[in-house]
Chains A and B, each alone.
Chain A
């Protein structure tokens, strides 16, 4: 566990050193703030004291931003050869992957923490549903957990960051909406399988405030699957 934290701390430090963190935070807050407060069907247009609008926007912004922070995780270690240095220290594949995952996850947590003023603002101007808001945040965190895990897996496939980024998006698109579309255009058990696989469905039910163990199991199992696959790829391709 200690090694996981050492890796995560270094990685988080390098996000902030390399400006990746600042760019990601500013862009995320800029986008989500703009669409939540100023433009389109924003909070004032919806006329409801709820953060549903923000969750909808963040659902998409995170989808694009997470591959941008995960793409370098393993790919760059491969390219510069530092992976050899890391793996000859007394850590195993799992600790390495978990450390990387934790660093990305913490960056997303920091980004979401900066949106807490949205919550406070809306709560002060209207009667907000606290339960739904908390589970909305939970939904975003779970969704991020899944995409980070997929992103790190994509990063472990290649030593080229752009390839990793595109791969992560490609896999992500399936979970984000292609499975949903496929579920609609098929029928019977096949439709149910696609329906279960679609991340959007699970996210929507959580962000509406319904905490179902089925959804939790879905998010956690895909996250773990991604982590195992990354471990496997790192051990295979050296």
Chain B
């Protein structure tokens, strides 16, 4: 199911938590929602799930406004703080959620079994939720969000509290789910977005500041290509001078002259890999390394949200 958010606005008092944002998410797409604390991620997600009322604008799911038609049955939601009934055993809790989400009675057991297996809850399934560690509670939260096999998954920081192995498992799970479903997830962990999401949306102070894949964001953030090269030559000084004279290269920084390592910044809109290679060939030097330098997502994030 496609989700379309149109000029959504929500304020708390005088402060606008979400300020006129619009975006679309298509079926089979995993959208990563990034932003500093208090940027409006959770508020937006809460409005999509129908928990918070829409103040201005609209949210269209599957061609219909959620203000007119209740879409909760099609949405699986993992809230930020993952609230659970601590006095309930895992299996009972999942059954409770399944029934509330209108899973037919004869399917409830098989759905629970599937979720228990999928989220790795087998050993803990008869324990009370209050007795579980944070990571296992998070799994229960994920299980309850997916119990009714929803078309749309809204996950507010799904991997908090998980250990590295679990994080990998959950990411795989989300990626797998994302093939057929519409997934929106928010996170603070930047490598996670790159690992799981097809598209990234960065919001700051309630406004969208970037929208695109990790690659397009990188290009936007930095126009020039950066390379690190290592050239073996009798005279590194000659290499340095020759590099500077290449037309496609903007600046050359010496990292280590003795080993022949340089950092090269190309001119905007141009690529210098070929020129460097050809230069080495024609001079009879050996090109030992050429490493493209990628701007880290962290840097893009900082650049867009620090002001």
Instruction: List chain A positions with a Cβ less than 8 A from chain B.
Output: 2-3, 6-7, 10, 13-14, 17-18, 80-92, 238
Which residue on chain B has the smallest CB distance to residue A83? B83
Contact with A along B52-94 (1 / 0, CB 8 A): 1000000000000000001011010101010111111000100
Residue contact A90 to B99, C-beta cutoff 8 Å = no
Which listed residue (A80, A83, A90, A92) contacts B73, Cβ 8 A? A90
Contact with A along B130-147 (1 / 0, CB 8 A): 000000000000001000
Answer whether A85 and B101 are a contact pair too, CB < 8 Å, given A90-B72, A90-B73.
Answer: no
Contact with A along B187-200 (1 / 0, CB 8 A): 00000000000000
Nearest CB of chain A from residue B155's CB, rounded to whole Å: 12
A3 proximity list for chain B (CB < 8 A): 100
Residue contact B81 to A81, C-beta cutoff 8 Å = yes
Nearest CB of chain B from residue A106's CB, rounded to whole Å: 17
Which residue on chain B has the smallest CB distance to residue A18? B87
Residue contact A88 to B51, C-beta cutoff 8 Å = yes
B77 proximity list for chain A (CB < 8 A): 85, 88
B36 proximity list for chain A (CB < 8 A): none
- C-alpha spacing A89/B51, complex, angstroms: 9
By CB atoms of chain B within 10 A, which of A14, A17, A84, A91 has the most? Answer: A84
Residue contact A88 to B83, C-beta cutoff 8 Å = no
Nearest CB of chain B from residue A78's CB, rounded to whole Å: 10
Answer whether A90 and B100 are a contact pair too, CB < 8 Å, given A14-B87, A238-B51, A238-B52.
Answer: yes
8 contacts between A and B (CB under 8 A): A7-B100, A10-B85, A80-B86, A84-B46, A85-B83, A87-B50, A87-B51, A90-B70
- C-alpha spacing A17/B129, complex, angstroms: 14
Nearest CB of chain B from residue A23's CB, rounded to whole Å: 15
Nearest CB of chain A from residue B265's CB, rounded to whole Å: 49
- C-alpha spacing A185/B46, complex, angstroms: 52
B99 proximity list for chain A (CB < 8 A): 2, 6
Residue contact A89 to B87, C-beta cutoff 8 Å = no
- C-alpha spacing A3/B75, complex, angstroms: 17
Known: A84-B51, A92-B70. 12 other contacts (CB 8 A): A6-B100, A7-B100, A10-B88, A14-B85, A14-B87, A80-B83, A81-B79, A81-B83, A84-B46, A85-B79, A87-B50, A88-B50
B23 at the interface (CB under 8 A from A): no
